[in-house]
Every structure is written in structure tokens, then in C-alpha cells.
């Protein structure tokens, strides 16, 4: 028997049952193609039709191409779907009319092997369904993997950019270290010159500023330091610390310490720095001031690193039991505060807004670069004597 043995009634039955099985629905058409062993690309011209029209065109196409194996597989699919329906006898007859795809002999309706062959066909159908399911799962996995691959590519690009940024920062750091090294050489040279003229004794052995003389309120920026002088003279150390922070921001024309840069510190006028330092020393009897803090910094290592910062904090009372104190916990009494305890600029803002890390960075730059101003101040005072 062969494909030519199918009559119009058989064809109509195949069309009707295929439409009822929903295997020809748009979302299942590709799976149907895989199940009946036909390339979906061969059906590209009819894949977009309605279900009814697609069924008609598909069966006609299989007939015209005489694809007996394909129609046979389609019949077996429908046979398994409608084996208990009233259409089962006609479907069985259609299957019996079609020659099997591998050239097997026609299967007589009453063959003793028919039952075994049907079981084999059923198993084949199950395997084909499983294969279709696997194809579907693989397709879904591929759709999931593709976005992940794209994200991975984007992350690799971001990492590459970050590495370039790090390399650039490392290069800048090297340049900054070179500048600091040059500044330290200048400072050491100035210190040597100062020692040759007259050795500088630590502030706790001899007052740096003679308390019998008033401090001149000099300023390269025409800043009025009268309020700071009065606060210090009245022993209002906390208010004087805040006033110091405000006046220094005014000198460098900044509204907040968050906006201060290394260049601002480097270019801070020496005359203003000396005036502020001398006021603090004068009214604290040389217990407070930049020069006092610088001397302690030199005594604990004279380096810009964490270890030196911690030693400095311990010596001047900014740290207790290994913890940095909040601004409100500092000592604003001359007799009880450690040497070099002030000024701290309100720890650079209200409520410790920037904190000790920024202050120590500021002081490290000031000690290593602006220290020249303080040395010149001492040289001036030595020359005047």
C-alpha cells in the first residue's frame, strides 16, 4: 500500500484531527515539524497562516511532495492522540494504507506483528516528544545564556576601564610622592640652615613666642583676626577653634572644607599662617598651635602614614584606647588639654562632617609642604633678635 491509497475522506480526517489536536497552532508548529521530521524552513511560506489554512496547506504540500514517511509519522501522532475517540478506526485504517518510511512491506490489518509494531511506534512517538521537549528546553537555556554573556562582556569592559583608572591613579601617586620627596629635601635644607644660626628648642622647654610682646595681626588677604585674638585672650578655646576654621576658609575663598584641595593648602599665604599660629601660641603659652603640632609630628616619625597619624593622635590626645574621639569629647581647657591638642578646625566641619581622616590628610600636606612657612617664621624671629 502507499500514499495513493488515501482517499478524500482520509485526507479530510487528517486535516480535521490535526486542527483539533492543536499541534498546528502557531506556537506549536515548529515542534510539529520536528516530530514529523521536516525542516521548518521548508514551511516558511505557510508558517504565518491561520491554523485552519496552515493545516490545509501542510497536508497538500506533503501529498504533492509524496512524503509518505512524513504523513505516516503525522498519522501515528494523531493515532496516539485520538486512540479512544470515534475516529480511531478510520485513523487505524489510514495508518495501514501508508507504507513505512524505511521501505518495509505493507502491514496487513490482521498481521500477528501489528500489535508489536504499534507498541514500537508508540515508543518512537514518546521519544520524539521527549526530543521535542529537550529542543525546547535547550532553546530556552540559550535565550537565558545570551543575556548573561552580554552582561559578562559589559562587566569585562567596566573592569578594563577601572584597571586603566587605577593605573592612571598609581602614576599620579608616583608623581605626588616625587613632589613630596623634593619638598622634604627643601625642608631638611632649611632645618639645617636654621640649626646653624640657632638651635630650636622644643616648645615645652621654651616658649616659641615671647608672651611679653603682642602679636601683629598681619594678613596677605586683608583678613581681620581681631575676633580670633579676643576669643583666645578670653580662653574660649572651642569658639576660637571654630573661628580658626572659618578664617582659613575665608583666606582660600572656599565655603566648605569639602572643597579644599592640595593646591589650596600649598598656596596658603605664609603671613596668614604665621599670624594664626602665633596667636594660638601666644595665648596658650606655647601649648597650642601649628608649630607645636609640627614638632610633635617630627618627634613621632615625621611621616605621612597611618602609623605616624596614630602616634600623633595618641600624643596630642585625639585618640584614647585606640579610638579617635568625637569633636565633642575633646578637651577645651588649657590646663587639662595635652600639648598640641588644638587647633583641629572643628574636625573640619560641624558634627565631624569630614572627620579625622580628612584632617590628618590636611595636616600631612601642611606639615610636608607648608612647613616652609613655619620655618621661615622661626628664621624671621631669629634674625630679628
Q: What are φ and ψ of residue 119, in 5° steps?
A: -65, -40
CB 285 within 8 A of CB 297: no
Which of 120, 128, 90 is CA-nearest to residue 13?
90
What was the pLDDT predicted at 117? Answer: 62
And the C-alpha cell for 346? 572643628
DSSP 20-87: HTTTTSGGGHHHHHHHTT--GGGGTTTTTS-HHHHHHHHHHHHHHTT-HHHHHHHHHHHHHHSTTSTT
Which position has the grid cell 601666644? 282
Per-residue pLDDT at 218:
93
Residue 185 has a pLDDT of 83
Residue 319, strand partner residues: 324
Sequence-ordered list of residues with C-beta below 8 angstroms from that of 5, at least 6 positions apart, any chain:
97, 98
**Residue 336 pLDDT > 90, yes or no?**
yes
- What is d(CA 177, CA 194) in angstroms, rounded to the nearest whole number? 25
- The model's pLDDT over 74-108, given as tens digits with 9 standing for 90+, comes to 999 998 889 889 989 988 888 888 854 434 444 44
252 touches 260 (CB < 8 A): yes
Distance CA 334, CA 283 (A): 10
pLDDT in tens, 22-62: 999 998 888 888 888 888 888 888 888 999 999 999 998 88
User: What is the DSSP-derived secondary structure letter of residue 289?
Assistant: S
Residue 21 Cα distances to 10, 27, 73, 363, angstroms: 16, 13, 15, 83
Q: How far apart are CA 117 and CA 38, in angstroms?
A: 23
In whole angstroms, what is the distance from residue 228 CA to residue 232 CA?
6
d(CA 262, CA 172): 13
Beta bridge partners of 323: 320
Distance of CA 327 to the CA centre of its chain: 32
pLDDT band (50, 70, 90) for residue 213:
low
Sequence-separated (6 or more) residues with CB below 8 Å from residue 55: 15, 18, 19, 24
Alpha-carbon distance of 203 to 285, in angstroms, equals 9
301 Cβ partners below 8 Å, 6+ apart?
Answer: 307, 308, 311
Q: What pLDDT band is residue 362 in, cutting at 50, 70 and 90?
A: low
Q: Judge whether residue 229 has pLDDT over 90.
A: yes
Q: Express each pLDDT in 166-195 by its tens digit.
A: 988 888 888 888 888 888 888 887 877 776
Query: What whole-number distance in Å separates Cα of residue 77 and Cα of residue 20?
Result: 12
Distances (CA, A) of 324 to 100, 327, 355: 89, 9, 9
Q: What is the DSSP secondary-structure string of 165-220?
A: HHHHHHHHHHHHHHHHHHHHHHHHHHHHHHHHH-PPPPTTTS-SS-TTSPPP---T
Q: What is the band of 361 on the pLDDT scale with cuts at 50, 70, 90?
A: low
Residue range 341-358: mean pLDDT, rounded: 63
Question: Percent of the chain beyond pLDDT 70?
Answer: 78
How confident is the model over 270-323, as pLDDT tens digits?
Answer: 999 999 999 999 999 999 998 999 999 999 988 888 898 899 999 999 999 989
Render pLDDT for 238-285 as a digit per residue (tens, 0 to 9): 999 999 989 999 999 988 878 888 888 888 899 999 999 999 999 999
- Mean pLDDT value across residues 219-248: 94
Give 85 or 125, the one with higher predicted confidence.
85
Predicted pLDDT at 140:
84
pLDDT for position 364: 61
Four-residue CA torsion sign, 247, 248, 252, 253: negative
Amino acid at each position: 500500500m502507499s500514499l495513493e491509497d488515501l482517499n478524500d475522506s482520509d485526507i479530510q480526517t487528517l486535516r480535521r484531527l490535526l486542527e483539533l489536536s492543536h499541534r498546528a497552532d502557531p506556537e506549536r508548529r515548529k515542534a510539529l515539524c520536528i516530530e514529523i521530521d521536516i525542516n521548518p524552513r521548508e514551511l516558511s511560506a505557510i508558517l504565518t497562516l491561520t491554523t485552519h489554512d496552515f493545516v490545509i496547506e501542510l497536508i497538500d504540500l506533503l501529498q504533492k511532495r509524496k512524503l509518505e514517511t512524513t504523513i505516516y509519522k503525522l498519522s501515528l501522532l494523531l493515532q496516539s492522540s485520538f486512540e479512544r475517540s470515534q475516529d480511531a478506526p478510520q485513523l487505524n485504517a489510514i495508518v495501514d494504507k501508508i507504507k513505512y518510511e524505511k521501505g518495509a512491506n505493507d502491514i496487513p490489518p490482521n498481521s500477528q506483528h501489528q500489535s508489536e509494531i504499534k507498541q514500537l511506534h508508540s515508543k518512537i512517538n514518546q521519544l520524539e516528544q521527549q526530543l521535542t521537549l529537550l529542543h525546547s528546553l535547550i532553546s530556552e537555556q540559550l535565550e537565558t545564556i545570551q543575556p548573561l554573556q552580554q552582561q559578562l562582556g559589559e562587566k569585562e569592559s567596566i573592569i578594563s576601564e577601572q584597571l586603566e583608572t587605577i593605573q592612571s591613579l598609581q602614576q599620579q601617586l608616583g608623581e605626588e610622592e616625587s613632589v613630596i620627596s623634593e619638598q622634604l629635601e627643601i625642608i631638611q635644607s632649611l632645618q639645617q640652615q636654621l640649626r646653624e644660626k640657632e638651635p630650636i628648642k622644643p616648645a615645652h622647654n621654651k616658649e616659641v613666642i615671647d608672651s611679653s610682646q603682642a602679636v601683629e595681626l598681619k594678613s596677605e588677604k586683608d583678613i581681620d583676626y581681631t575676633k580670633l585674638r579676643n576669643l583666645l585672650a578670653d580662653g574660649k578655646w572651642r569658639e576660637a577653634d571654630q573661628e580658626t576654621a572659618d578664617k582659613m576658609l575665608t583666606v582660600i575663598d572656599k565655603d566648605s572644607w569639602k572643597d579644599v584641595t592640595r593646591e589650596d593648602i600649598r598656596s596658603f599665604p605664609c603671613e596668614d599662617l604665621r599670624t594664626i599660629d602665633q596667636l594660638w601660641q601666644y595665648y596658650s603659652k606655647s601649648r597650642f598651635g601649628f608649630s607645636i603640632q609640627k614638632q610633635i609630628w617630627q618627634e613621632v616619625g615625621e611621616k605621612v602614614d597611618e602609623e605616624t597619624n596614630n602616634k600623633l593622635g595618641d600624643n596630642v590626645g585625639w585618640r584614647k584606647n585606640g579610638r579617635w574621639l568625637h569633636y565633642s569629647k575633646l578637651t577645651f581647657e588649657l590646663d587639662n588639654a595635652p600639648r598640641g591638642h588644638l587647633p583641629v578646625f572643628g574636625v573640619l566641619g560641624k558634627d565631624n562632617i569630614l572627620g579625622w581622616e580628612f584632617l590628618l590628610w590636611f595636616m600631612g600636606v601642611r606639615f610636608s609642604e607648608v612647613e616652609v612657612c613655619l620655618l621661615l617664621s622661626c628664621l624671621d624671629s631669629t634674625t630679628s633678635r
